[in-house]
Copies of this chain bind each other. A is one copy, B any other.
Amino acid sequence: MPSYNAPVKDMNFVLNEVLNISKYSNLPGFTDITPDLVAAILEEGAKICENELAPLNLSGDREGCTRHEDGSVTTPKGFKEAYHKFVEGGWVGLSDSPDYGGQGLPHVLAFCVEEMMVSSNMAFAMYPGLSAGARAAIEAVGSDAQKQKFLPPMVAGEWTGTMNLTEPHCGTDLGMLRTKAEPESDGSYNISGTKIFISSGEHDLAENIIHLVLARLPDAPDGVKGISLFIVPKFNVNDDNSLAERNGVVCGSIEEKMGIHANSTCVLNFDSAKGFLLGEANKGLKAMFIMMNAARIGVSVQGYGLSEVAYQNAVEYANDRIQGRSLTGVKAADKAADPIIVHPDVRRMLMNAKSFNEAARAAALWCAMLVDLSHKAETEEERQSADDIVSLLTPVMKGVFTDRGYEFATSSQQVYGGHGYVAEWGMEQFVRDARITQIYEGANGIQALDLVGRKLPAHGGRGIQAFFKLVGRFLSDNKDNEKLAVFTTTLSAALSDLQTATMWLMQNAMTNPDNAGAGSTPFMHLFGHVLLGFQWAQMAKISVEKLDNGTDDPTFFEDKLITGRYYMKRRLPETKSLLAELEAGAEDVMALDAANF
């Protein structure tokens, strides 16, 4: 069975050394955030993930969820007990507002716990995970009465939430959706329609499930401008918040999927279900995007979270498994063969994953910090500029981190040779679980389009200009630091490629929008490299300073420099070929007649 050790040390490093979060103690929720408190929370989070969730991952995958004839769903053995421990520990409402019973801690801390949950049990993590998105939407656009009614039990974990967007004939193109909402005389709505791919759509973990459902009012305009968002509880809720009769929403079936077997992915049939308008009529898509953006950043955490746990197990196997001898002479003379970690190609696979995981974690936590600042910073200007960067980075992180997550779950499986293909080792599960992260919450191609079509040009390019300035300032500040030369020269080349690519898009997408479409995925990955390279350069700077000034843990910082150099020298040059792919343009992509593929 695979094992998991939460990377608490690395998280502490990012939070305290890289982000220096204690300097934000003037902001709400950050007041008591000392390195000691951070460490204590992370260690408690690690405990529940390592001890309660991880042991259920393989068995949960094997057993899956069971739908009964009445439409009820049982989660795998042990999930209910683990969920209750999770709730009792107060983990659900970690970063929710104290107004609704949350602990009001920074998002940046909740992200660390989220990573641990995903690494230990991705299918489990999705039950509270989807719920967090639903809470965010209710908090953002709900009426005071709705917030008071629904948020406290959801923050407490007694109730969970879902997102209901997709229908059989429409996913990306929500303008086509058909679920209907007819107004009733009591101010509620009568909801009818079929939703598919509803994660955590029905289960036995919580007393009630609050479905957020996109539907059309009778007089709604066509397309996305006629979509409204509704609250549809599984059980209707009395005025005193006690549960009333079952609402008209039933799980019609559970999808048989490639992975995340322990999460119930439901077809939900809404048949005259009682619903309540959430936010403004016909503005449902906007509200849904509040959930969606939070969810997309959450999925990016799933990308490196799965890569991390797969990597950890591959490292253990590579140190354990003896096979063949080192190319430079016997290393373990007392054994019949050397551990396979002596082989450069095995190390290549491990270093690829390690150099990604650590930089992705740094990037995501930076982004989480910016999410906090976008809500809590003192000036509108600070909040705005934080939000600009978050908006810009969201599709990059979702697309790139999940593509890489799948890649490194796969290469970590590869370290096991044939054993990696066998279910009992658990490595193939990481790959199957990772695969969905590239697809849901907007397939990665949609992230790339969102990036080049919406986020780049937003506010006259304010976000991308700010990002270029940040990286550029780092480079100019450190251009004479010889100890950082490897980092600054490679990052500078990659940044230049990204700037060239951005310019190319501006010039060529105007003449032919297909040039933007054909270059969107290479551009997104090019951006991802610069984002990760930038993290490494910053972490290298801190490591050099630590080593120069004396530290009681020099190995940690020396290893950071090695891992960073690996990324800058061996991974970052991919920007060159991505730029070439982009600059080849749309012509050969679009030339073939659709019938001739």
Q: Contact flags (1/0) for A331-354 with B, using CB distance below 8 Å?
A: 000001101011111111111001
Among the stretches A44-52, A292-300, A498-506, A566-574, the one at the interface with B is: A566-574
> Is A89 close to B, CB under 8 A?
no
Choice from B342, B344, B440 contacting A418 with Cβ under 8 Å: B440
> Is A17 close to B, CB under 8 A?
no
Among the stretches A104-112, A460-468, A575-583, the one at the interface with B is: A575-583
Choice from B176, B259, B318, B345 contacting A521 with Cβ under 8 Å: B345
A residues 556-592 in Cβ contact with B at 8 Å: 559, 562-563, 565-566, 569-571, 573-577, 580-581, 584, 586, 588-592
Check if B576 sits within 8 Å of A588, measured CB to CB.
no
Check if A563 sits within 8 Å of B581, measured CB to CB.
no
Which residues of chain B come closer than 8 Å to A324, judged between CB atoms?
A: 172-173
Q: Contact flags (1/0) for A404-433 with B, using CB distance below 8 Å?
A: 001000100110011011111000100110
Which residues of chain B come closer than 8 Å to A518, judged between CB atoms?
A: 344-345, 347-348
Check if A555 sits within 8 Å of B596, measured CB to CB.
yes
Choice from B256, B444, B569, B586 contacting A584 with Cβ under 8 Å: B569
Which residues of chain B come closer than 8 Å to A563, judged between CB atoms?
A: 592
> Is A485 close to B, CB under 8 A?
no
Check if A559 sits within 8 Å of B596, measured CB to CB.
yes
A435–chain B nearest beta-carbon distance, Å: 7
Complexed CA–CA distance, A443 and B559 (Å): 29
Which residues of chain B come closer than 8 Å to A443, judged between CB atoms?
A: 414, 417
Q: Contact flags (1/0) for A197-224 with B, using CB distance below 8 Å?
A: 1000000000000000000000000000
Known: A576-B580, A589-B347. A417 touches B594 (CB 8 A): no
> Is A492 close to B, CB under 8 A?
no
A392–chain B nearest beta-carbon distance, Å: 19
Check if B315 sits within 8 Å of A597, measured CB to CB.
yes
Among the stretches A277-285, A508-516, A539-547, the one at the interface with B is: A508-516
> Is A257 close to B, CB under 8 A?
yes
Check if B341 sits within 8 Å of A597, measured CB to CB.
yes
Check if A435 sits within 8 Å of B423, measured CB to CB.
no
| Number of chain A residues close to chain B: CB under 8 A | 96
> Is A73 close to B, CB under 8 A?
no
> Is A303 close to B, CB under 8 A?
no
Known: A347-B590, A445-B414. A432 touches B258 (CB 8 A): yes
Which residues of chain B come closer than 8 Å to A595, judged between CB atoms?
A: 319
A457–chain B nearest beta-carbon distance, Å: 14
Complexed CA–CA distance, A444 and B518 (Å): 31
Check if A559 sits within 8 Å of B336, measured CB to CB.
no
Check if B431 sits within 8 Å of A328, measured CB to CB.
no
Which residues of chain B come closer than 8 Å to A247, judged between CB atoms?
A: none
Residue of B nearest to A259 (CB): B421
Known: A351-B589, A423-B258. A344 touches B517 (CB 8 A): yes
Check if B344 sits within 8 Å of A417, measured CB to CB.
no
Residue of B nearest to A323 (CB): B173
Residue of B nearest to A438 (CB): B414
Check if B423 sits within 8 Å of A410, measured CB to CB.
no
Residue of B nearest to A566 (CB): B588
> Is A171 close to B, CB under 8 A?
yes
Known: A176-B336, A513-B328. A351 touches B418 (CB 8 A): no
Complexed CA–CA distance, A396 and B273 (Å): 59
> Is A394 close to B, CB under 8 A?
no
> Is A166 close to B, CB under 8 A?
yes
> Is A327 close to B, CB under 8 A?
yes
A253–chain B nearest beta-carbon distance, Å: 11
Known: A172-B323, A328-B514, A562-B588. A574 touches B573 (CB 8 A): no
> Is A448 close to B, CB under 8 A?
yes
> Is A53 close to B, CB under 8 A?
no
> Is A255 close to B, CB under 8 A?
yes
Complexed CA–CA distance, A518 and B326 (Å): 12
Complexed CA–CA distance, A438 and B431 (Å): 14
> Is A520 close to B, CB under 8 A?
yes
Complexed CA–CA distance, A315 and B581 (Å): 22
Known: A256-B422, A324-B173, A443-B414. A594 touches B517 (CB 8 A): no
Q: Contact flags (1/0) for A442-470 with B, using CB distance below 8 Å?
A: 01110011000000000000000000000
Which residues of chain B come closer than 8 Å to A421, judged between CB atoms?
A: 255, 257-259, 435-436, 439
Complexed CA–CA distance, A383 and B394 (Å): 58
Which residues of chain B come closer than 8 Å to A243, judged between CB atoms?
A: none
Known: A418-B440, A439-B420, A566-B588. A577 touches B573 (CB 8 A): yes
Check if B424 sits within 8 Å of A256, measured CB to CB.
yes
> Is A40 close to B, CB under 8 A?
no
Task: Provide a sorted-by-A list of 16 A–B residue pairs whose CB atoms are within 8 angstroms.
Answer: A173-B323, A173-B337, A257-B422, A258-B432, A319-B594, A327-B516, A348-B589, A414-B439, A414-B444, A421-B439, A428-B435, A559-B592, A562-B592, A566-B589, A570-B584, A570-B589
State the 10 A-B residue pairs at the shortest beta-carbon distance, nearest first. Answer: A344-B517, A573-B580, A327-B513, A258-B428, A344-B518, A569-B584, A345-B445, A566-B588, A256-B423, A173-B323
- Using A341-B594, A573-B581 as known contacts, list a sample of 18 further A-B pairs with CB atoms less than 8 Å apart, ordered by residue number in A: A171-B417, A343-B517, A344-B514, A345-B445, A345-B518, A347-B590, A348-B589, A410-B435, A414-B439, A414-B443, A414-B444, A421-B436, A428-B435, A555-B596, A569-B584, A570-B581, A570-B588, A574-B577
